[in-house]
Amino acid sequence: MILKNKKDKNRKFLHCTLLPKNRRGDKILSAYWFAVLLIVAAGIFAMVYVYYGVPYDVRNVEGHLLINAVADCISYSGRISSGIVSSGKFIQNANFLNQCHLIFNSSEWKDEQYYTEVNFYKIEDINTPLLTIKKGNNNWISQCEIQKTEKKETLVQCSNEIFYSLDDKNNQYLIKILGVVRKSEKNVKM
């Protein structure tokens, strides 16, 4: 009986170690490896797609650059341009910004994607503008009001800045500039 058991054990050992194994396990392992490769590849693809699928939104910077360009045009070395105010009196030139070499048209877009508005105030009253000059597509300005209450990326980006300047008679003025940039399709995932 003991001898028979020993024989059985030896047979079993030989069967499990030396004899050719059942290859089904290897096939399953290969399929598993393939599945893991696919999962990892899909994961990397998803990561790249998620990250690069969203464009950089640079409209805020663009809006401020627009404001800087407008500010350089209307006031230089601390004095407001003589084309706007002369001897303490504002010249009602609504098209002044046309002299600023700002190009708002682009072949890439059907409509103008920019709008800018400049308001001049006395420092005693910063709510009533003495003069307002505008340039660009004024359809976008209504979206700035919506942006104040609820931030929506797909709407226009509105930037506001204020600075101080003098006229030739040293009268003091505060100048508010609004810069609006749309270009939503290129800056936001629609």
Stretch that binds other proteins, among 47-55, 85-93, 111-119, 128-136 (CB under 8 A): 47-55
Q: For residues 104 and 85, give the distance between their C-alpha atoms in angstroms, rounded to a whole number.
A: 25
Q: Would you say 23 or 110 has its CB closer to other proteins?
A: 23
Radius of gyration of the chain (CA): 35
Q: What residue has token string 């059907």?
A: 110
Q: Mask 4-23, x = binds other proteins (CB under 8 A)?
A: -------xx--xx-------
CA distance 45 to 155: 30
Size of the site for other proteins (CB under 8 A): 48
| Residue 133 near residue 117 (C-beta atoms within 8 A) | yes
Contacts with 10 (C-beta within 8 Å, 6 or more apart), sequence order = none
Nearer to other proteins, 49 or 105 (CB): 49
Question: Please, which residue, 112 or 161, has the CB nearer to other proteins?
Answer: 161
Q: Does 127 bind other proteins (CB under 8 A)?
A: no
Residue 51 interacting with other proteins (CB under 8 A): yes
Instruction: Tell me if 38 contacts other proteins by CB under 8 A.
Output: no
Asked if 164 is part of the footprint of other proteins (rule: CB under 8 A), the reply reads: yes
- Answer yes or no whether residue 166 interacts with other proteins by CB under 8 A: yes
- As measured in angstroms, the least distance from the Cβ of 89 to other proteins is 19
Contact 47, 180 (CB under 8 A): no
Cα–Cα nearest to 135, from 178, 185, 85, 92: 178
- Choose, by CB under 8 A, the member of 39, 91, 130, 146 that binds other proteins: 39
Please give the Cα distance from 142 to 158 (Å, whole number): 11
CB 121 within 8 A of CB 129: yes
Phi and psi of 88, rounded to 5°? 80, 5
Q: Determine, following the binding rule CB under 8 A, whether residue 170 of this chain makes contact with other proteins.
A: yes
Site residues, other proteins (CB under 8 A): 11-12, 15-16, 25, 29, 32, 36, 39-40, 43, 46-48, 50-51, 53-58, 60-61, 64, 67-68, 71-72, 75, 77-79, 123, 126, 153, 159-166, 170, 172, 174, 176
